Structure 1
Amino acid sequence: KRQERPSLGRHYSLYSQPNIQPLTITCLPITHKMATSIKVTAAKIVEQRTHQISGKLKVTEHFFDVPKDYSKPSSGTIRIFACSVRKHESPADPSDHDDKKSQLPWMVFLNGGPGGACRHPNAYPFTWTILDKGYQMLYLDQRGTGLSTPITPSTLGLRGENDVQARYLKLFRADSIVRDCEAIRQSLTADYPPEKQKWSIMGQSFGGFCSITYLSFYPQGLREAFIYGGLQPLVKQPDPVYRALYKRVAKRNQKYYSKYPEDIDRVKTIVKYIQRFGDGTIKLPSEGHLTARRFQQIGIMFGMHGGIDSVHEIVLRAAYDIEAFGHLTRGALSAIDSILSFDEAPIYAILHEQIYCEGKAPNWSAERMRNEFPEFEITSDGPIYFTGEMVFSWMFEDYSELRKIQDVANRVAADADWPALFDEEQLSKNEVPVYAAVYQEDMYVDYDYSRETAEKIKGCKTFTTNVMYHNAIRSKADEVIRQLFDLRDDVID
């Protein structure tokens, strides 16, 4: 076990028989850097097809083959999908080719998660903003999501027994995602002159965590990094993260009930109805169980722009259904179901706590930390508090797809063998320009932790605000992107 490893130079003597000269073994410390500093070679380009789409955009769909396990390249490959986009131009003279325009600098978008696929480039409000700044963009489906060898209960089952599935899932954290990025960068820039082969990254939420991993272990591939609500806590186990999270979610509950005090009784009415014939007897359209504890999870919306109002709309509709008809209609059930899409993103449920782990097992940290916050209990005398971005072991009972991989999830939760995802020493001597948006009211990535991380990254410039929430990159894209580019392009006297 890593926590029991001997220090440098400690000696052990092994005797097999008396009067035999002992064999002395010097144990060197095991360092996670050895595992993370793995050499990455160019990904194999399997297919690239380009199409023009509305909005004067030219989109190329890319498929790459990369090692499944970079520490064992011969163990097989997985397929990665990415979609690149640039402006479609129709020059007056088509024969007038300009290499500078064909080799535009790359900006790679690393989306939130873990476990979330990228949407189409047209679905992002900032696509044209970035293109207008002279980049071409690459939207990457991180491994295990979208079209990048997606993780689902059915695809996991193809891997073999549960212990094999659990080991396979360990290959889907930020370290492997970053290596995929680096392999793809080498492929896409192979024909570029050396001075243009670095690329830029913009990481949202978990994509910011990936950016810090990139800065830690492969900074030579980066030109600059833009991070939006993703300055991760530099911790090695998740307990302090979730302890801080419960406090932030409690404050959002207070704001919710302050804005909608009538929902105090409505929520209690809904919970009482859900539990009336036995918790979990109500089925959702996804075939999952609507339990009181699952209903509490809609509070995950509290940290978004408009999130409090979205939760109120669901509560209002559900309470109306119960009063008017004595049951929840499909519309209300679908609204609850659509917010809680863990069945479609099992990586989120299985690996969410592991994004904070190094040499420690998470052991369902959020579930354990909940015991310190009785206000989140269903039986609380006060208002019933909703939970936030937490995962719990019981989700693998209440969700229809997650139910199929319960044993695998428990195995992963009990695993302590997790290598480092960041290197504070490297970050302290960082030379890559880093620009980060930090939200004081961020419910998902703690503000205090974000500030500490920013201070540990040499040269990190921050835009700090208390009028934006975690999803500002979508809800207030023009403003927050302008602020970070101003950090890059302007000076402060």
Structure 2
Amino acid sequence: MPGLHVTDHEVAVPLDWSAPDDGPSITLFARELTAAHRSHEDLPLVLFLQGGPGGASPRPVDASSWIGVLLERHRVVLLDQRGTGRSSRVDAARMAGFGSAEEGADFLARFRADSIVRDAEHLRKTVYGGRRWTTFGQSYGGWITLEYLSAAPEGLAASMITGGLPSLHPDAADLYRRTYPRALAKNRRFEQRYPGDAAVIARIADLLAAEDVRLPDGDRLTVRRLQFAGGARFGMQHGFEELHWLLDTAFGSGGRLSDAFLEAVQTATSFAENPLWAALQEAAEYTDDTSGATRWAVRTEHERHPEFAETARPLRFTGEMFYPWMFEEIRLLRPFGPAVHVLQERADWPARYDHARLAANEVPVVAAVYFDDLYVDADLQLQTAGEIANLTTWVTDEWEHDGIRASGGEVVRHLQRMLDDRGGPRR
């Protein structure tokens, strides 16, 4: 691979870390990168924790952008979190094999951040001889980072976080109360930037409401699926432009939706790449021992916002929120549905964060907080930052949630400078 030296690692880890000797194991995969000209140097390690949940690690094509910045100083370890990529991937076929919804729910509950931390520690000790490493957590990678700081801070030299400081007091209902106004504001900004698109969107929605329009995989394209597809990228640097140009060629001959448009919507909403993103986000990742059951908090909040109704005009896009209808209408999510419904009713979740340990944290942590972040509320992030010792934030309105990619590495460089100013990673 141009400019890169690549080493792949596979280790076995227990499916259930609470009973590591009593059940099956799964495969944990990590890819280690070094700059080709430094492959024999004893460089410090940085573990990249991908956003999600349910996102596999990046597949780099060269040593450029943000990965290239990290490679200037480190060996970069790209971990496929359990259930993703080459780490015993969980997909529709796997979920269809369970005999009951409870069995499937028990299985999915093993793919939370607490298990990912245990996996990372096992990898650090077995492959890297127990050397401390720096973690770099993007979005959901920040959730994992805070659980890492709670459970095994001795393994960490430092931590960098971008767009990913979760509330230390998980409350799904409060999260959605905060998210809907931000989503509405994003919609209004899009409408101001591209006022001519409202008529195109209304035309598409009216067509979908009146006719049975099918995606290439056979799923029906409904208005609410269109709402998710349109808003899924609103929190990214060029999300408005991506949607605008998608709408530009939405219609083909005879007033039908174009094949290219239907293919793009399917790609954005099929969850072929990341079904755990939808399956785990609310019930498994916005919960702890004090939160109780979530019971589809997103649906409850959605019903309070008629401006997001399928019949509303202008039609508003919902963004990165996952609803019960998805597990009925989307083919690759349907096998997850029974288990996810069980998870939504569960109230006996384990503790997620060690508040006392975080308040006395000794690991240097630097975090980028995107002021206009659609997905992770900036106020909640700053509240969390105030509850963790030795954590410094950088609040910026220059970048959106995908700042590490969109900035071409500048966000990473800024965090590195912040860490350097504080004396660098601990030894």
* Structure 1 partner of 2:380: 449
1:116-159 deviation digits (Å, cap 9, x = unpaired): 111223367222211212x1010000000001011112122345
SS at match of 2:51: coil
How far apart are the structure 1 equivalents of 2:132 and 2:422? 24
Contact 2:249 2:258 in 1 (8 A): no
Which one of the candidate residues 190, 193, 200 is aligned to 1:259? 193
How far apart are the structure 1 equivalents of 2:17 and 2:136? 24
Which one of the candidate residues 275, 292, 299 is aligned to 2:209? 275
* Structure 2 partner of 1:393: 324
1:365-410 deviation digits (Å, cap 9, x = unpaired): 1111111211111223x42110011000000122111123322221
Contact 1:350 1:412 in 2 (8 A): no
* Structure 1 partner of 2:13: 66
How far apart are the structure 1 equivalents of 2:2 and 2:414? 29
* Structure 2 partner of 1:180: 119
Asked if residue 300 in structure 1 is aligned to residue 232 in structure 2, the reply is yes
Asked if residue 357 in structure 1 is aligned to residue 287 in structure 2, the reply is yes
- Using the TM superposition, give the Cα deviation of residue 261 of structure 1 relative to its aligned residue in structure 2, in angstroms: 1.1
Matched to 1:313, the amino acid is W
How far apart are the structure 2 equivalents of 1:287 and 1:352? 26
* Structure 2 partner of 1:221: 155
Change (3 A) 1:491 1:65: closer
- Using the TM superposition, give the Cα deviation of residue 477 of structure 1 relative to its aligned residue in structure 2, in angstroms: 3.6
Unaligned runs of 5+ in 1: 1-52, 92-97
* Structure 2 partner of 1:36: none
Contact 1:219 1:432 in 2 (8 A): yes
Change (3 A) 1:90 1:304: closer
How far apart are the structure 2 equivalents of 1:477 and 1:159? 43
- Using the TM superposition, give the Cα deviation of residue 89 of structure 1 relative to its aligned residue in structure 2, in angstroms: 3.5
Matched to 2:81, the amino acid is Q
Contact 2:67 2:409 in 1 (8 A): no
* Structure 1 partner of 2:259: 330
How far apart are the structure 2 equivalents of 1:478 and 1:346? 28
1:205-229 deviation digits (Å, cap 9, x = unpaired): 0011111110111111100000011
Which one of the candidate residues 70, 76, 79 is aligned to 1:140? 79
- Larger Cα Rg: Structure 1 or Structure 2? 1
How far apart are the structure 2 equivalents of 1:186 and 1:482? 28
Unaligned runs of 5+ in 2: none
Contact 1:233 1:450 in 2 (8 A): yes
* Structure 1 partner of 2:91: 152
Contact 1:87 1:131 in 2 (8 A): yes
- Using the TM superposition, give the Cα deviation of residue 355 of structure 1 relative to its aligned residue in structure 2, in angstroms: 0.7
How far apart are the structure 1 equivalents of 2:186 and 2:151? 36
> What is the TM-score when the length of structure 2 is the normalising length?
0.94
Matched to 1:144, the amino acid is G
> What does 1:165-244 align with in structure 2 at a 5 Å threshold?
165-190=104-129, 197-244=131-178
SS at match of 2:164: coil
- Using the TM superposition, give the Cα deviation of residue 348 of structure 1 relative to its aligned residue in structure 2, in angstroms: 0.9
> What is the TM-score when the length of structure 1 is the normalising length?
0.81
How far apart are the structure 1 equivalents of 2:161 and 2:422? 19
Asked if residue 366 in structure 1 is aligned to residue 298 in structure 2, the reply is yes
SS at match of 2:76: strand
Matched to 1:414, the amino acid is E
- Using the TM superposition, give the Cα deviation of residue 491 of structure 1 relative to its aligned residue in structure 2, in angstroms: 6.3
1:17-75 deviation digits (Å, cap 9, x = unpaired): xxxxxxxxxxxxxxxxxxxxxxxxxxxxxxxxxxxx322x2111111101111110121
How far apart are the structure 2 equivalents of 1:431 and 1:477? 30
Matched to 1:405, the amino acid is F
Matched to 2:103, the amino acid is V
> What does 1:26-37 align with in structure 2 at a 5 Å threshold?
none
Contact 1:198 1:222 in 2 (8 A): yes
- Using the TM superposition, give the Cα deviation of residue 425 of structure 1 relative to its aligned residue in structure 2, in angstroms: 1.6
Structure 1 runs of 4+ aligned residues shifted over 6 Å read none
How far apart are the structure 1 equivalents of 2:309 and 2:223? 10
Asked if residue 115 in structure 1 is aligned to residue 54 in structure 2, the reply is yes
How far apart are the structure 2 equivalents of 1:125 and 1:449? 29
How far apart are the structure 1 equivalents of 2:228 and 2:248? 16
* Structure 2 partner of 1:314: 246
1:64-110 deviation digits (Å, cap 9, x = unpaired): 1011111101212111111001123489xxxxxx8xx2x42210000
Matched to 1:348, the amino acid is W
> What does 1:74-93 align with in structure 2 at a 5 Å threshold?
74=21, 75-89=23-37
- Using the TM superposition, give the Cα deviation of residue 356 of structure 1 relative to its aligned residue in structure 2, in angstroms: 1.1
* Structure 2 partner of 1:348: 277
Contact 1:343 1:399 in 2 (8 A): no
SS at match of 1:109: strand
Matched to 1:473, the amino acid is I
Which one of the candidate residues 395, 400, 406 is aligned to 2:337? 406
Matched to 1:457, the amino acid is I
Change (3 A) 1:83 1:334: same
SS at match of 2:154: helix
